[in-house]
Structure 1
């Protein structure tokens, strides 16, 4: 029986017992051997160096941009409530940054250039210093340009200061990611030129014949014509696919056979982090149930499932208890089924599980268009033999969608090709491609927080945000306005309870993340709503979250698909200090009210109001020297 603090050491000893380090599983090799798996940093002071360095992925060599020479970056491990110091040195010839994803830190420590600080210039060392009131599984990544795609991401484990409600004998941290040998800016340029560059799964004549056999020729032809009229493909599921991506676990491809060892009967905790740039995964271990015990770092009531969908930036902790002495295939399959990564869980080092075959490519339906649900069956068949679009303008060329929605807050224009006519809740759906699998799948509607919610007030007001796009031109935005054109932030007031309702007017899944606060997912959980820092909003979905505005400051709010954010699907939420209307809360950090950044080739001035750094010693960083970044206070 191996404790979670001993597993790396014990695994190494087990490998040595075999008589040669060449027999070690790839993840346990020391960094000096060129391993790109996890190295571990513990304590309360961490020195991190951002640099470029060579890596080998799937037997091919390339250059990464990351932290301390490994992809993923080192595992950072510390204890809840402890003040930690992280010195980040930038050795690049460009700016960099680190955002501590899901951690409740003062906004000046949040690490978003142009919103919370100017970024870290070449040759500089920036000191992050904070203590957090939480424990669990989290991660960190660059918020500068497209560096995250190049390897700038790593895991964080925060040990609880008290007893852990999850009992387990050993653990493994499993960082899922996507890697391309193409330059990320080249990928983005291709997407802007032709959004379906990497999609090789378009429907064919045999697919049409199959549809006609199932639905009738007329219905199949009408649906095909409707997709064509909207200039969309029902296979437009992922922008960047296995055509360029290598899918990885802890920096290793399936061929590397990342290997985790267990003793039969043990409770093994898998801390699963989706650190991808663009890939949503469906995770399963055929023949081995998983009990979900934590979502986005926070404990949930144990829920046994056989598969779950994990969006970019989400984390799930699961317990598995393999009783048989055999190898199991941990499988993370991309949502569009263009590829997967498989690791082995086995009783002995070096075992290799059989890789499952990729499953059939899923297909979007009329439901993903948010059509008039009263006029058709959600499986795609019509109730009357015809398709009705409930006011949707069939001619998409003019982008005149006024008849589709009475929302005056959505800016019409070339960046908005449609609005959802009949958005609906999809919380009780497992996610695209998992609707008909013959086993148990996780649904957001099933999640319940383990502890009762601390704030059970009813929301004082509701804010509706539309997720908008012109997919053909690769334009992504909130409310029809991309980030480079935003003039005012979304305003919260300190202490208030706000309901945010997100309407997905696009036909793609979007993992939406709000910095500095957690979403209380409105899923029927009463006083046990699950709290998440990232939620997948499905196509045509209307999803609500309740938010307690506890932390004064400016916070990024964005889609966590990297190229969507880069194209403009981002905003700023400003939590303004208490004005006497709400219950006072203690905060030392006043907000800035104006912030912008360089996105999608749009140069904008970084204009930030004076920040009182207070006790957060920035150790000599002259932030006033960074162009138009203006930050007062103690540096």
Structure 2
């Protein structure tokens, strides 16, 4: 069959806003972005060839260097079907090692794509073939796990259609890949962060603002000053260097998607950024969240949600009138935004809202828990305390109402069984004295929007969880850091200092509590597994592969260690991972593992 020319494709894509059918593809492999002004390239089938190479791309009229796949960044959309076997041959045309991790896909550990953990990487000028069964459905993505290549454009979307009928009914779909781009080389960004953690924070409080007390109560100002920290340090890398992208296009490019009034439009939203959590809204339209991290959830209508780095959310929108709508993905520190347009006709645009006021870290973000409601003025003396010597004050998180009581939790760290608390290392700058579960709160900066904001406790699995056993043990892991020296770790130990992986027995059920001792949110991702958030929903707990742990907060999940192998476990803030916030989880049969710690 003769393939149409690009001109014919774009001509057909702009006719009347109707759904675009491509007869040379099977029905299940039709582009999810059919009908948009600049559709994503689509790859499907059982044998897929990918070539990683340098390229030049243009963002908002400016040309820049990137690493992409098959000549594009973002990389092509890979569309698969649940139940099929797929072979993905990856040719590395770079002069350095590369890799591809299939983020959120349940694959044999040898196919997971993390150099030094699950496979040796793909050397320069060689080809490696990933070969695995597709056992799930949903929205996922893929990216490099080599160095800082992901920041340079080495990422792309994955959509897997269910083997049977899709419970999510829609008339049209669009993939929305959010990301951040800088003209600086990622190693140059990292060097600046090592020199000064707040290097890219151009929204610091002014001396006049501090003296006038416009931003915070006096007691809080004294505490921040005593700790030599700035409450505006919400994000490490900001709009001072970043341009925020939708499908590789900047705000001025105005990536555009079509719809017909009255349609149910499914937006598959992926946060493929290196360092940016996005607050997503479409002024004038409600969004109904129907999927999180590729797993179907009971529909929940919201006006806005935060999508952390590495998360995916599918939402349904139903625009009734033939007018354009702006999709706003505002950076969490409000230093910039990604922007796109949903419209019934190419050329129509909608107003783009101004950036909202910057958020400020609060006492809860300092790990002070409900002390935020106390008289701050009486707490000024705490500013001089050494928060690095307070590990005895941390405490386990109580399970939400409706959850089964748990075995007693050891307060000592797994690698420091005889220690009273966290190790005395430079990576433990602060310890949250009153950390608390914040999964029922709007994300940082979204508590006073005046409209409905998604919180993790809104998520309820559409289907019953596959493993309903009570956990047999608990594990507590602290997220630690030193912003002044830009060091990040788990339990105060960076990846290059770890002596042994985190051990699990095959099939065991473990309750894991993450305690964020830093004043920055951390999206924590576990490879090879889904886990159930402990948020009070019992056998319909939401299943995720990435959880964003609020500053000074905790998050708890139940894990069934059902995938034998070695798996990466890390913060998905790229420069946090690069600075050491990563460890290895190993799952072994009892015959190999012995007694787990």
Same fold (TM over 0.5): yes
- The two structures have a TM-score, normalised by structure 2, of 0.88
Q: Distance in 1 between matches of 2:9 and 2:441?
A: 41
2:547 equivalent to 1:535: yes
Q: Distance in 1 between matches of 2:285 and 2:46?
A: 37
2:342 equivalent to 1:345: yes
Please report how far the alpha carbon of residue 155 of structure 1 lies from its aligned counterpart in structure 2 after TM superposition.
0.2
Q: Report the 3-state secondary structure (helix = DSSP H, G, I; strand = E; otherwise coil) of the residue aligned with 1:564.
A: helix
Q: Report the 3-state secondary structure (helix = DSSP H, G, I; strand = E; otherwise coil) of the residue aligned with 1:254.
A: coil
The question of whether the paired residues in 1 share the 8 Å contact of 2:531 and 2:559 is answered with yes
User: Where in structure 2 are the equivalents of 1:484-503 lying within 5 Å?
Assistant: 484-503=496-515
Q: 2:323 aligns with which of 314, 323, 326?
A: 326
Q: Distance in 1 between matches of 2:316 and 2:16?
A: 28
User: Where in structure 2 are the equivalents of 1:233-244 lying within 5 Å?
Assistant: 233-244=230-241
Partner of 2:245: 248
Runs of at least 5 residues in structure 1 that lack an aligned partner in the other structure: 1-7, 19-26, 583-592, 594-635
Judging changes above 3 Å, is the alpha-carbon distance between structure 1 residues 28 and 248 closer, same or farther for their aligned structure 2 residues?
farther
Please report how far the alpha carbon of residue 350 of structure 1 lies from its aligned counterpart in structure 2 after TM superposition.
2.1
Please report how far the alpha carbon of residue 312 of structure 1 lies from its aligned counterpart in structure 2 after TM superposition.
0.3
Partner of 1:563: 575
Judging changes above 3 Å, is the alpha-carbon distance between structure 1 residues 549 and 17 closer, same or farther for their aligned structure 2 residues?
closer
Please report how far the alpha carbon of residue 81 of structure 1 lies from its aligned counterpart in structure 2 after TM superposition.
1.2
Q: 2:263 aligns with which of 263, 266, 279?
A: 266
Q: Distance in 1 between matches of 2:135 and 2:35?
A: 34
Cα deviation digits, residues 368-401 of structure 1 (max 9, x gap): 111263xx344xxx437411788x86246xx444
Q: Distance in 2 between matches of 1:550 and 1:400?
A: 38
Judging changes above 3 Å, is the alpha-carbon distance between structure 1 residues 12 and 134 closer, same or farther for their aligned structure 2 residues?
farther
Partner of 1:91: 93
Q: 2:527 aligns with which of 506, 515, 531?
A: 515
The question of whether the paired residues in 1 share the 8 Å contact of 2:523 and 2:572 is answered with yes
Please report how far the alpha carbon of residue 464 of structure 1 lies from its aligned counterpart in structure 2 after TM superposition.
0.5
Q: Distance in 2 between matches of 1:171 and 1:29?
A: 9
Q: 2:436 aligns with which of 416, 421, 424?
A: 424
Please report how far the alpha carbon of residue 408 of structure 1 lies from its aligned counterpart in structure 2 after TM superposition.
3.7
User: Where in structure 2 are the equivalents of 1:217-366 lying within 5 Å?
Assistant: 220-366=217-363
2:385 equivalent to 1:386: no
The question of whether the paired residues in 2 share the 8 Å contact of 1:231 and 1:472 is answered with no
Please report how far the alpha carbon of residue 353 of structure 1 lies from its aligned counterpart in structure 2 after TM superposition.
1.6
Please report how far the alpha carbon of residue 28 of structure 1 lies from its aligned counterpart in structure 2 after TM superposition.
8.2
Judging changes above 3 Å, is the alpha-carbon distance between structure 1 residues 367 and 348 closer, same or farther for their aligned structure 2 residues?
same
Q: Report the 3-state secondary structure (helix = DSSP H, G, I; strand = E; otherwise coil) of the residue aligned with 1:190.
A: helix
The question of whether the paired residues in 2 share the 8 Å contact of 1:309 and 1:442 is answered with yes
Please report how far the alpha carbon of residue 207 of structure 1 lies from its aligned counterpart in structure 2 after TM superposition.
3.1
Q: Distance in 1 between matches of 2:287 and 2:187?
A: 38
The question of whether the paired residues in 2 share the 8 Å contact of 1:372 and 1:388 is answered with no
The question of whether the paired residues in 2 share the 8 Å contact of 1:313 and 1:511 is answered with yes
The question of whether the paired residues in 1 share the 8 Å contact of 2:222 and 2:380 is answered with no
Q: Distance in 2 between matches of 1:532 and 1:433?
A: 23
Q: Report the 3-state secondary structure (helix = DSSP H, G, I; strand = E; otherwise coil) of the residue aligned with 2:54.
A: strand
Please report how far the alpha carbon of residue 46 of structure 1 lies from its aligned counterpart in structure 2 after TM superposition.
0.5
2:463 equivalent to 1:472: no
Partner of 1:13: 12
Partner of 1:612: none
Judging changes above 3 Å, is the alpha-carbon distance between structure 1 residues 553 and 189 closer, same or farther for their aligned structure 2 residues?
same
Please report how far the alpha carbon of residue 94 of structure 1 lies from its aligned counterpart in structure 2 after TM superposition.
0.1
Q: Distance in 1 between matches of 2:295 and 2:138?
A: 6
Runs of at least 5 residues in structure 2 that lack an aligned partner in the other structure: 1-6, 18-32, 396-410, 414-421
Q: Distance in 2 between matches of 1:9 and 1:232?
A: 57
Q: Distance in 1 between matches of 2:376 and 2:289?
A: 42
The question of whether the paired residues in 1 share the 8 Å contact of 2:223 and 2:380 is answered with no
Q: Distance in 2 between matches of 1:522 and 1:372?
A: 19
Q: Report the 3-state secondary structure (helix = DSSP H, G, I; strand = E; otherwise coil) of the residue aligned with 1:370.
A: coil
Q: Distance in 1 between matches of 2:68 and 2:9?
A: 28
Please report how far the alpha carbon of residue 231 of structure 1 lies from its aligned counterpart in structure 2 after TM superposition.
1.6
Cα-Cα RMSD: 2.4
Judging changes above 3 Å, is the alpha-carbon distance between structure 1 residues 162 and 210 closer, same or farther for their aligned structure 2 residues?
farther
Please report how far the alpha carbon of residue 579 of structure 1 lies from its aligned counterpart in structure 2 after TM superposition.
3.9
The question of whether the paired residues in 2 share the 8 Å contact of 1:54 and 1:61 is answered with yes
Q: 1:116 aligns with which of 115, 118, 124?
A: 118
The question of whether the paired residues in 1 share the 8 Å contact of 2:390 and 2:431 is answered with yes
Q: Distance in 1 between matches of 2:16 and 2:468?
A: 55
Judging changes above 3 Å, is the alpha-carbon distance between structure 1 residues 30 and 135 closer, same or farther for their aligned structure 2 residues?
closer
The question of whether the paired residues in 2 share the 8 Å contact of 1:401 and 1:417 is answered with no
Q: Report the 3-state secondary structure (helix = DSSP H, G, I; strand = E; otherwise coil) of the residue aligned with 1:155.
A: strand
Q: Report the 3-state secondary structure (helix = DSSP H, G, I; strand = E; otherwise coil) of the residue aligned with 2:252.
A: helix
**How many residues align structurally?**
551
Judging changes above 3 Å, is the alpha-carbon distance between structure 1 residues 441 and 10 closer, same or farther for their aligned structure 2 residues?
farther
User: Where in structure 2 are the equivalents of 1:523-602 lying within 5 Å?
Assistant: 523-579=535-591
Partner of 2:78: 76
The question of whether the paired residues in 1 share the 8 Å contact of 2:391 and 2:433 is answered with no
Q: Distance in 1 between matches of 2:271 and 2:368?
A: 31
The question of whether the paired residues in 2 share the 8 Å contact of 1:11 and 1:28 is answered with no
Q: 2:206 aligns with which of 204, 207, 219?
A: 204
Q: Distance in 2 between matches of 1:377 and 1:361?
A: 20
- The two structures have a TM-score, normalised by structure 1, of 0.83
Q: Distance in 1 between matches of 2:16 and 2:557?
A: 52
Judging changes above 3 Å, is the alpha-carbon distance between structure 1 residues 363 and 17 closer, same or farther for their aligned structure 2 residues?
closer
Please report how far the alpha carbon of residue 550 of structure 1 lies from its aligned counterpart in structure 2 after TM superposition.
0.7
Cα deviation digits, residues 422-478 of structure 1 (max 9, x gap): 110101112011101111110101100000111111101011000000111100000
Judging changes above 3 Å, is the alpha-carbon distance between structure 1 residues 48 and 283 closer, same or farther for their aligned structure 2 residues?
same
Judging changes above 3 Å, is the alpha-carbon distance between structure 1 residues 117 and 311 closer, same or farther for their aligned structure 2 residues?
same
Q: Report the 3-state secondary structure (helix = DSSP H, G, I; strand = E; otherwise coil) of the residue aligned with 1:185.
A: helix
Cα deviation digits, residues 125-152 of structure 1 (max 9, x gap): 0000001221000000000000000000
Please report how far the alpha carbon of residue 543 of structure 1 lies from its aligned counterpart in structure 2 after TM superposition.
1.2
The question of whether the paired residues in 2 share the 8 Å contact of 1:107 and 1:553 is answered with yes
Q: Distance in 2 between matches of 1:9 and 1:172?
A: 20
Judging changes above 3 Å, is the alpha-carbon distance between structure 1 residues 515 and 253 closer, same or farther for their aligned structure 2 residues?
same
Q: Report the 3-state secondary structure (helix = DSSP H, G, I; strand = E; otherwise coil) of the residue aligned with 1:386.
A: helix
Q: Distance in 2 between matches of 1:576 and 1:296?
A: 26
The question of whether the paired residues in 1 share the 8 Å contact of 2:219 and 2:380 is answered with no
Q: Distance in 1 between matches of 2:9 and 2:516?
A: 47
Cα deviation digits, residues 585-607 of structure 1 (max 9, x gap): xxxxxxxx9xxxxxxxxxxxxxx
Q: Distance in 2 between matches of 1:372 and 1:173?
A: 38
